Amino acid sequence: MDRAMRLVVLGRDGVINRFREEHIADPAEWEPLPGALEAIARLNHAGWHVVVATNQPGLGTGLLDMAGLNAVHRRMNEELARHGGRIDAIFICPHTAADGCDCRKPAPGLLLKIAERFGVDCAEMVVAGDTLRDLQAAHAAGCEPHLIRSGRSAHLTPAEAEALALQVPGSRVHADLDAFVAHLVQRQPTLAGQAGPSSGYGALPAA
């Protein structure tokens, strides 16, 4: 992958914002995790594109609608912009587990769509999430999987998180999003004088 198209795919709930058992249907309910917005901005400044891939089954059950979800994502993007960062696109699976779709994580469909849209090889995409299904989706798509010990994995001890990650070949574990970003930036520093990627926003339901 060209250095100008370094691509990280993040889960949303439990990675960028606090996980809630109830669907986040109102922008006022969206609360960033400490340091998460700064970590994304640091990725951007190091030359990475950042894309979100998120299961939103509330769309399928009628507990959410696209207008409300887009309002939540506008709030997320506005808060991120205040910290000097951006998300280039948001890919959504609107289905429930009963629908049997190919895009609901742990299925790889969302990640495959992202790779196609951005013209990158899945093997060069880095995927980070807070659940086993994030790792499984990354592995199924041929991406590089990372577990963030936040959100639904926050209760795990380091040993428990490592044991969970061992279920998916090649997975790495990080204490939080900031530690994950530090890992990426350290291993692949930005080219001197490289311009950051252009920004954009899209809430894209996956069919």
CATH number, domain at 168? Answer: 3.40.50.1000
Mean pLDDT score, 120-140 = 97
Q: Is 187 exposed, middle or buried (0-12, 13-18, 19+ CB in 10 A)?
A: exposed
For the cut 90, the answer to whether the pLDDT of residue 157 exceeds it is: yes
Q: Under a CB-based contact definition with an 8 Å cutoff, are residues 159 and 184 in contact?
A: no
Q: What gap in Å lies between CA 114 and CA 126, rounded to an integer?
A: 12
| DSSP state letter for 26 | S
Mean pLDDT score, 148-176 = 96
Q: How many domains does the chain have?
A: 1
Q: How confident is the model at residue 23 (pLDDT cuts 50, 70, 90)?
A: confident
Q: Which of 6-20, 53-67, 155-169 has the lowest mean pLDDT?
A: 53-67
Q: What gap in Å lies between CA 141 and CA 147, rounded to an integer?
A: 16
pLDDT > 70 fraction of the chain, expressed in percent and rounded: 89
Q: Report helix, strand or coil for 186.
A: helix
**What is the span of the domain harbouring residue 115?**
3-205
Mean pLDDT score, 93-108 = 94
Q: What gap in Å lies between CA 135 and CA 138, rounded to an integer?
A: 5
Model-wide pTM > 0.75: yes
Q: How confident is the model at residue 167 (pLDDT cuts 50, 70, 90)?
A: very high
Q: How confident is the model at residue 207 (pLDDT cuts 50, 70, 90)?
A: very low
Q: What gap in Å lies between CA 38 and CA 184, rounded to an integer?
A: 15
